[in-house]
Amino acid sequence: MSVRLTAYAQALGVSVAEEDAGPPTLVLEFRHDLEGRPGAWHGGAIAGLLETAGYAALTSELSAQGRDPLLKPINITVQYLSTGRTQASYARGRIVRLGRRNANLVVEAWQDDPAKPIASATMNILMAEPA
Amino acid sequence: MAQWLPKVRWAATTPVMDMFQGAFDAEVLSRWVLTRAHPGWLGLRYRDHGTDWVELELPWRADLVGDERRPVLASGPIVSLMDMAAGMSIWAANGEFRPVATLDLRVDYIRPARERASVCGRVTCYRRTRSAAFVRGTAHDGDLADPVAEVSGVFMTLDPARMR
């Protein structure tokens, strides 16, 4: 199943790096539009990548289950672990708990090494089944 | 003067260096920090500030929606808006420009913004220690008492001497 990215994610420049098995890995190449203080990623751009990867992980699993609910964000908590250098960043989400009405996910972003994340996020998402 | 500033490509004629000297003024500084890089790409605008708070605006933009079925700003750019307003509220509270880095930021989405509405973010720096700054704020689409989102976060003060 191919990942459907939101208009915001596309404007940001997010694309799918890998979606063979399990949650898709997303990638965002660095450019000046994503910079915060000179030489570092803006925290908001990293949060956007993390959130997009969280939604991609959830929609890919829901699609496998034949579900297509309306997704509404409840909250997101982002931890910034180290400075995002001026290079591509990757992100992948993992579903911790998938219920009927809500889902809990953790998402990590990294640059060179997935074992050394630059940021992580916890997300709660509400799922409203179409009437 | 923070040592990392000269790394930026300064226009020789820009009196930008003056913005970082003397008393901190969020409105004056925003002419520089909101017109470049990620905040510039989002089109963030300065609205107002006090001694420990700053309010910015994320203007409505059709290509920043999170769900093609509804013309409503996505949650992602709202995080950027609140992160930026938070950083500036710390500069306002410090009374000077000193680089900060986000450590932790939590956003609770109370309700979606109204269709085709701009979203404003007002963030207050309510506590500072030597190395950390604590912030909380509200995102709204016109009425501060009817919030779109509530945020809280912790930022770390960076030491310019260690930023090469």
Q: What CATH number has the domain bearing residue B104?
A: 3.10.129.10
Cβ-defined contact of A76 to B74 (cutoff 8 Å): no
Report the sign of the C-alpha dihedral through residues B66, B67, B68, B70, in that order. Answer: negative
Report if residue B12 sits inside a domain: no
Nearest CA in chain B to A82: B103
- List the domain range (segments joined by +) for residue B106: 22-162
Cβ-defined contact of A42 to B38 (cutoff 8 Å): yes
For chain A, list residues with pLDDT below 70.
Answer: 1-2, 131
Give percent above pLDDT 90 in chain A: 89
Report if residue B46 sits inside a domain: yes
Count how many domains chain A has: 1
Cβ-defined contact of A76 to B107 (cutoff 8 Å): yes
pTM, entire model: 0.90
Read off the DSSP letter of residue A57. H
**Is residue A3 within 8 Å of A15, Cβ to Cβ?**
no
Report if residue A56 sits inside a domain: yes
pLDDT reported for residue B66? 87
- List the domain range (segments joined by +) for residue A83: 7-128
Q: Which of A32, A44, A74 sits opposite B80 (nearest CB)?
A: A44
Question: pLDDT per residue over B80-98, tens digit each?
Answer: 999 999 999 999 999 988 8
**Is residue A47 within 8 Å of A76, Cβ to Cβ?**
yes
Residues of B in contact with A51 (CB under 8 A): 75-76, 79
> Is the minimum CB–CB distance between B66 and chain A shorter than 8 Å?
yes
Count how many domains chain B has: 1
pLDDT reported for residue B27? 86
Report if residue A1 sits inside a domain: no
Report if residue A34 sits inside a domain: yes
Question: pLDDT per residue over A4-34, tens digit each?
Answer: 899 999 999 999 999 888 899 999 999 999 9
- Measured in whole angstroms, how far is the alpha carbon of residue A7 from the centre of its chain? 14
> Is the minimum CB–CB distance between B16 and chain A shorter than 8 Å?
no
Q: Which of B34, B38, B56, B103 should be substituted to probe chain A, the one whose Cβ sees the most A Cβ atoms within 10 Å?
A: B38
Distances in Å between the alpha carbon of B147 and those of B30, B135, B137? Answer: 24, 17, 10
Cβ-defined contact of B79 to A47 (cutoff 8 Å): yes
What is the overall mean pLDDT for chain A? 94
pLDDT reported for residue A56? 96
Backbone angles phi, psi at A4, to 5 degrees: -100, 115
Cβ-defined contact of B68 to A78 (cutoff 8 Å): no
Report if residue B77 sits inside a domain: yes
pLDDT reported for residue B13? 38
Predicted ipTM of the assembly:
0.94
pLDDT reported for residue B104? 97
> Is the minimum CB–CB distance between B9 and chain A shorter than 8 Å?
no
pLDDT reported for residue B97? 82
Distances in Å between the alpha carbon of B111 and those of A2, B43, B80? Answer: 29, 23, 18
Strand ranges inside chain A, DSSP E: 15-18, 25-28, 70-80, 89-98, 102-110, 119-128
Question: pLDDT per residue over B132-151, tens digit each?
Answer: 999 999 999 999 999 999 99
Torsion angle in degrees (nearest 10) through CA of B132, B136, B141, B143: -140
pLDDT reported for residue B12? 38
Q: What CATH number has the domain bearing residue A81?
A: 3.10.129.10
For chain B, list residues with pLDDT below 50.
Answer: 1-15, 17
B102 three-state secondary structure: strand
Cβ-defined contact of A45 to B80 (cutoff 8 Å): yes
Q: Which of A74, A76, A89 should be substituted to probe chain B, the one whose Cβ sees the most B Cβ atoms within 10 Å?
A: A76
Give percent above pLDDT 70 in chain A: 98
Report if residue A104 sits inside a domain: yes
